[in-house]
Structure 1
Amino acid sequence: MRLYLVRHPKPAVPAGHCYGRTDLPAQDADTARVLAALKHQNLPGAMPVYASPLQRSAVLAQQLSTAPTFDARLAEMDFGAWELRHWDDIPRDEIDAWSADLLDYRPGGGENVMQVAVRVAAFLADIQRAGHAEVLVICHAGTMRLLHALAAGGALRDAALRAASTPHQIGYGEVMVLEI
């Protein structure tokens, strides 16, 4: 199976703020940019489209497909009380605690990486069972890193640690292709 993973357009959030599960809209201009870029990439046209239900992903999915499937397992990590706070306003000891325990610490009391990894792995298993040759998935950088790590194989905990340890370098609207 070939997965085409697309990161959502840039959300309408001030720079330097933590956001994950918060349902932010995408910036209109960036949505138009990403849509135009995707149309020039010659992605296969008749493939199922799955997307995070968060509007920054959902709006793009609706513009690319007449019948996208929204799956909450593709949503970004819930950062709890950290959501929409400037990173500089989050106590350093909390950030250090997360760095010391990437998999099990719950930033802001939200989800931990293992919880996100379990739901993303369940999504991946379900679409593999569906038998699609190609699938377009519109989601978030964290979800994309997890899907990439899961595709590489190994134990769930090891894949989650690889994903959490990978520096975030996925641009808005970037496409990642995985062969599974």
Structure 2
Amino acid sequence: MRAGAVELILVRHPRPLAADGICYGRADLAPDPAELARVHAMLAAAGLPGGAPLFSSPLRRCADLARLLSPDVLLDPNLAEMDFGNWEERSWQDIPRAEVDAWAADLLHYRPGGGESVLAVARRVAAAMGAIRRHGSERAVVICHAGTMRLAATLAGGAPLEQAALAAAASPHRIAYGEMLRLTAT
């Protein structure tokens, strides 16, 4: 590993207690208990966190899992998922198509539902990654969200902030609940 680099083991939270097709980002949803047990067992079998510092989004679907893994969790609000404003906890089908189209037309700056822009989220995730690097460990486990994971991956690849934000926003949403992603951040 390069000097000053940190190995990140990013883990997506367990499936939350939410119906399919619901927009949720910053909504503080609890994890489904069966999914929480499944993901916890998978991570425990993998030996995580394995002495590495454990960082987590403060949202319950992440923090509940992190607290099962270690009593020493570093909660970082910069790891939270995007705030979708008044879109939160609404069916995607009920969100006016014109609003979704406006977001698609300006992925970087549009604030869906009056919440956060993708660029604002990228700034937060970059700040979280900086805090993890400054922690000084060679390895860290991070319990977070699919959007956070996509942003962290593009940022770790060295892309400039705006380019990383666009790449993450344009990526298909294919990170499974409980999925792990290993990367090196410098």
**TM-score in terms of structure 1 length:** 0.98
CA contact (8 A) 2:31 2:61 kept: yes
Deviation at 1:79, TM superposition (A): 0.2
Q: Does 1:133 align with 2:138?
A: yes
Question: How large is the RMSD of aligned CA atoms in angstroms?
Answer: 0.9
Q: Does 1:73 align with 2:56?
A: no
User: What is the aligned partner in structure 1 of residue 111 from structure 2?
Assistant: 106
Deviation at 1:154, TM superposition (A): 2.3
- Say which of 84, 88, 96 aligns to 1:91: 96
Q: Which amino acid aligns with 1:35?
A: H
Runs of 4+ in 1 over 6 A off after TM superposition: none
Alpha-carbon deviations, 1:72-111, whole Å to 9, x = none? 0000000001001000000001000101111100000000
Where does the alignment leave 5 or more consecutive residues of structure 1 unmatched?
none
Where does the alignment leave 5 or more consecutive residues of structure 2 unmatched?
1-5
Q: Does 1:62 align with 2:67?
A: yes
- Say which of 30, 35, 39 aligns to 2:35: 30
Deviation at 1:126, TM superposition (A): 1.7
Deviation at 1:44, TM superposition (A): 5.2
CA contact (8 A) 2:12 2:175 kept: yes
**TM-score in terms of structure 2 length:** 0.95
Q: Does 1:123 align with 2:128?
A: yes
Alpha-carbon distance between aligned partners in 2 of 1:37 and 1:44, rounded to the nearest angstrom: 12
Alpha-carbon distance between aligned partners in 2 of 1:62 and 1:48, rounded to the nearest angstrom: 12
Q: Does 1:53 align with 2:58?
A: yes
- Say which of 145, 151, 173 aligns to 1:146: 151
Alpha-carbon deviations, 1:111-136, whole Å to 9, x = none? 00011000110111121122211000
Q: How does 1:161-172 map to 2 (within 5 A)?
A: 161-172=166-177
Deviation at 1:141, TM superposition (A): 0.4
User: What is the aligned partner in structure 1 of residue 17 from structure 2?
Assistant: 12
Deviation at 1:41, TM superposition (A): 2.2
Alpha-carbon distance between aligned partners in 2 of 1:81 and 1:7, rounded to the nearest angstrom: 24
Count residues in correspondence. 180
CA contact (8 A) 2:82 2:116 kept: yes
Alpha-carbon deviations, 1:18-49, whole Å to 9, x = none? 00000000000000000111122234510100
